[in-house]
Structure 1
């Protein structure tokens, strides 16, 4: 039994006439009559009484009609579900991000745009440091992740879609002597200061970038206090436990005890990328990429 048999049957049942049903379906009457006879043979009983000016349902036909309609409706639902899945309108997106990346406006705007554009996709968010995110991507436990890649990041199974770099700023306790300066400051001004930094394992690429630029300025940062995570750095600077270097997006955390100053000359750079598994083919992931690309225009 084919779907076309059911469509033909429903048309004749609703029109009560083979000629009108044939016109509605866009086929000739003889082929329609033959298809109905084929259906009746498969069912094993007559579904219509042929009368001089049309066709009437038999008791079997009356029982068959609601089931035929339900089958056609289910087939349309199945087709619609397949189309939505192919377009990435349904499904699941497992998206990771680092603690510092979550403050970047591009990341939050991409998540918001994706949720608005594809509200029926189940969105699973996970925060951890970049290396752990890359490991999960390699195991296909995540579909994508916003990470802070190092300059030498090389993961053969991962594609990195570079996003705009982000400048970094000097974070100072509000009563620090340098905080009185209203202009940009040289990095070398921090040479004798105690730093508040997160452990290297929490933000490897940012940590290495800070150490690198301090080395270029002629000193190695003296870590006086480690912060348990990236967002805690600003709180500890505000508490007067040291100075730090933070991404410009984290500087949106406006605490009373901390001020931010730009660097004179070249500022340290925080890289940002959308990482995706090379082996993954997903319409849902394609839609996320579309969101990110639109935000970059």
Structure 2
């Protein structure tokens, strides 16, 4: 008996998040469904893929090897699903600007796919902050950009959100807040807080904090996501950041857990932006069409 794509997706989610409960939340299914899928998958492949510990699910050596194959399989399936759009014969040069967070945690995989789908398309990437991207789009230095669309307010630019990444509370393993039935901004305000500042993250977070009666007790402001990860994992504070930049382990090998907050915290929206009234070139259409297909957005004319 072979395994299913569903079992592979459940396995990958558990491997990435390190806990069946977190995988179930991320997949919007029951914990029992994830547990059953993993047990069935282990029976099919004939080896244990995880070591069960009090703190979560750790991959075995066989599990790490299987994860690599699972990524390859799911990648091929995804590519096969999203091949039928703009002709692969599109050619030319496309100048794409992207912000730090997007280019570090979102864009590389999609650029690699685009280059394979459109081998004659020369994509030139530029990392810039939002202000420089806005100015560059209006000055025609960049054709299109990929950035946090919620930060764009310039009426001369058009934005199109392609995906929203949920923001959750990051805490170290065995943190007392993990034992609570509900956690909100009030509880977070009582903890030392690590404030990420890159890509206007501090400005975005203060927007939702300002809507509450509480304020974060900031003990460090940093532009480094890895600094936040290490500080949280080592028990020096907590942070609210998006799933897109979350990894369950710090560089020191210490675990980071996530908690869904009961108070409304907006997702981090990632998408495209271009100059209003732009005439879309075939290269721009190919780029935009890829993201519309990849994320199931309705196709519209540029």
Q: TM-score normalised to the size of structure 1?
A: 0.61
Relative distance call for 1:259 and 1:222 in structure 2 (3 A) is: same
Q: Which residue of 1 aligns with 2:26?
A: none
Give the Å deviation of 1:133: 2.0
Relative distance call for 1:231 and 1:286 in structure 2 (3 A) is: farther
Task: Map 1:112-151 to 2 at 5 A.
Answer: 112-150=112-150
Give the Å deviation of 1:138: 2.0
Equivalent-residue separation in structure 1 for 2:270 and 2:155 (angstroms): 18
Q: Which residue of 2 aligns with 1:258?
A: 256
Q: Which residue of 2 aligns with 1:203?
A: 199
Give the Å deviation of 1:103: 6.0
- 1:215 matched to 2:210? The reply is yes
Task: Map 1:17-166 to 2 at 5 A.
Answer: 89-102=90-103, 107-150=107-150, 153-166=152-165
Give the Å deviation of 1:290: 0.8
Relative distance call for 1:138 and 1:236 in structure 2 (3 A) is: farther
- 1:269 matched to 2:267? The reply is yes
8 Å Cα contact 1:130/1:149 also seen in 2: no
Equivalent-residue separation in structure 2 for 1:155 and 1:268 (angstroms): 20
Equivalent-residue separation in structure 1 for 2:233 and 2:287 (angstroms): 37
Q: Which residue of 1 aligns with 2:223?
A: 228
Give the Å deviation of 1:289: 0.7
Q: Which residue of 2 aligns with 1:20?
A: none
Relative distance call for 1:227 and 1:121 in structure 2 (3 A) is: same
Higher CA-based Rg: 1
Give the Å deviation of 1:274: 0.5
Give the Å deviation of 1:236: 2.8
Equivalent-residue separation in structure 2 for 1:124 and 1:294 (angstroms): 22
Structure 1 stretch displaced more, 128-137 or 160-169: 128-137
Equivalent-residue separation in structure 1 for 2:136 and 2:98 (angstroms): 12
Secondary structure at 1:252 match in 2: coil
Secondary structure at 2:290 match in 1: helix
Secondary structure at 1:289 match in 2: helix
Q: Deviations over 1:46-73 (max 9, x none)?
A: xxxxxxxxxxxxxxxxxxxxxxxxxxxx
- 1:294 matched to 2:290? The reply is no
Q: Deviations over 1:179-217 (max 9, x none)?
A: x43755222211122221123xx322x323311222333
Secondary structure at 1:249 match in 2: helix
Give the Å deviation of 1:92: 1.7
How many residue pairs were aligned? 206
Structure 2: 5+ residue runs without aligned partners? 1-86, 297-302
Relative distance call for 1:253 and 1:89 in structure 2 (3 A) is: farther
8 Å Cα contact 2:149/2:272 also seen in 1: no
Structure 1 stretch displaced more, 186-195 or 259-268: 259-268
Give the Å deviation of 1:176: 3.2
8 Å Cα contact 2:94/2:121 also seen in 1: yes
Equivalent-residue separation in structure 2 for 1:134 and 1:100 (angstroms): 16
8 Å Cα contact 1:87/1:283 also seen in 2: no
Q: Which residue of 1 aligns with 2:189?
A: 191
Secondary structure at 1:217 match in 2: coil
RMSD over aligned Cα atoms: 2.7
Equivalent-residue separation in structure 2 for 1:290 and 1:146 (angstroms): 14
